[in-house]
Amino acid sequence: MQQKKSMIGIVSAAAIVALCLGVGTSVVTATEPCGDFGECKALIEINAKDGDIGFHFLMDGDDLNKASIVDPNGKKVFEDKAKGPLKEQKLTETFAESAEPFCKEELVEEEGDEVVTLEEFLERWTAGTYVFTGKGDQGEKSTGETELTYELPAAPAEVDFNGIMITWEAGDDLGECATAGELDVLVPDVLPVHPEDVDVAAWEIVLEPDVDDGDPTGALKFTVRMAEDPDMPRAVTVPADYLMSLPDDTPVKIEVGAIGGDDNATFSEEDGFCVNETVVGCD
């Protein structure tokens, strides 16, 4: 596996300091507070490279035995019930995500893989108010509401890594799920706003060792979230201590997500990078 050539220029010390101050800033949150819940959210997440799409949700309550979600059509889309020792211990935060079917038939990798086009996905998951409900031991009820929108941020573009710094640019499409040309047809009939016009509130950056399943190095991920600032470079310096903790010649992949103000997210991924390189390229 050959290391990619970096497209990164020199960033001033002042800019790097400012970036470090921004790393980890939590600027995108769920509906908080969410009625009787501490927070709740429902969102759409797209993997632009693999071309898949999923529905994610989170609810955070206190001492619950039951939890459910109802969509804008009044249809229950999720229900959970604690039993046995979990009922005694109670539920608090519940996070889950749907399976992530491919957006197009040509992306199918194995027989039986599900395909749900962007249009079909949006028909399945209605935009609007999702009602979260929980119940406690004595039947006490918690309720809250959050909004699901179709404002999908464009996939980050030009994702790169030079062994020290990760860089990227704002994009103009949804990758494999919808090219720029396809979006010209989908907007405004299917999507109310073109993805390149959706404001990005934050970027999520992940460096993950690209190793075989079962290799403990794979769990040593570096993840940060930073606010979008048009006056700052879109770049993150990976801590040297973290990089030194990885074995020599570790192949890694980089994932950068554009997070909208309503938490919808579109991720781009690039691989073929190497850290702590002692030979040309990493196996």
Cβ count within 10 A of residue 207? 23
What pTM value is reported for the model?
Answer: 0.86
Q: What is the pLDDT along the chain (283 residues), one digit of tens a residue?
A: 334 333 333 233 333 333 333 333 334 457 889 999 999 999 999 999 999 999 999 999 989 999 999 999 999 999 999 999 999 999 998 999 999 999 999 999 888 899 999 999 999 999 999 999 999 888 889 999 999 999 999 999 999 999 999 999 999 999 999 999 999 999 999 999 999 999 999 999 999 999 999 999 999 999 999 999 999 999 999 999 999 999 999 999 999 999 999 999 999 999 999 999 987 767 6
Name the DSSP class of 131: E
Hey, is 221 helix, strand or coil?
Answer: coil
Top-tier CATH class for 13-28+151-275: mainly beta
CATH of domain 39-44+55-146: 2.60.40
Name which of 128, 115, 278 is nearest 192 in CA terms.
128
Q: Could you tell me if 221 and 208 are in contact, meaning their C-beta atoms sit under 8 angstroms apart?
A: yes
Q: Where in the chain is the domain with CATH 2.60.40.10?
A: 13-28+151-275
Give, in order, the Cα–Cα distances in Å from 180 to each of 152, 171, 185, 190, 191: 13, 10, 9, 14, 13
Number of residues assigned to the chain:
283
